[in-house]
């Protein structure tokens, strides 16, 4: 089993090895062979797409990601791994975009709420100390 025609690697062990009955043995050669690992099946990111669709769906990116995830799963079932990889990659990009947009919108919302509450507190304290009886 020698993939791609590469010669096997041989590595001699250093030092001496005493074999049976205390007699010195010669050098030992260990042979390593590379084993080909089957490629990982393409990912469809269906769970992430469902979460983006249900919880964070800005500009319908979550829906588009869900559609591409389902297409990727269908392509994988049919056996078209390249098509599944393409649809899965598109779903991955759409999920990232949806997650980043929702994160930015949440941060902007929190900053806006904090700013409005500070301004309202300032206005309340400023106008509550105004004395209407001494206007004239």
Give the tens place of pLDDT for each residue, 45-83: 999 999 999 998 889 999 999 999 999 999 999 999 999
Q: Where are the domains of the chain?
A: 3-32, 46-128
Cβ atoms < 10 Å from Cβ of 91: 27
What CA–CA distance (Å, rounded) separates 119 from 23?
A: 91
Q: Which long-range contacts (CB under 8 A, 24 or more apart) does 67-75 make?
A: 68/94, 69/44, 69/45, 70/44, 70/46, 72/42, 72/43, 72/44, 72/45, 73/44, 73/46
Residue 10: band (very low, low, confident or very high) from pLDDT cuts 50, 70, 90: low
Task: Answer yes or no: pTM beyond 0.85.
Answer: no
- Nearest CA among 74, 93, 96, 92 for reference residue 83: 74
């Amino acid at each position: 089993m020698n993939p791609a025609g590469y010669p096997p690697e041989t590595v001699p062990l250093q030092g001496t090895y005493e074999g049976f009955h205390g007699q010195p043995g010669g050098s030992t050669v260990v042979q390593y062979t590379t084993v080909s690992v089957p490629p990982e099946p393409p990912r469809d990111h269906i769970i992430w797409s469902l979460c983006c669709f249900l919880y964070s769906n800005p500009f319908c990116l979550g829906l588009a990601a869900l559609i591409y995830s389902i297409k990727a799963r269908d392509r994988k079932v049919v056996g078209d791994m390249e098509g599944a990889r393409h649809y899965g990659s598109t779903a991955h990009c759409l999920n990232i975009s949806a997650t980043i947009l929702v994160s930015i919108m949440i941060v902007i919302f929190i900053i806006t709420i904090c700013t409005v509450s500070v301004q309202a507190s300032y206005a309340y304290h400023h106008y509550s100390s105004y004395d209407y009886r001494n206007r004239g």
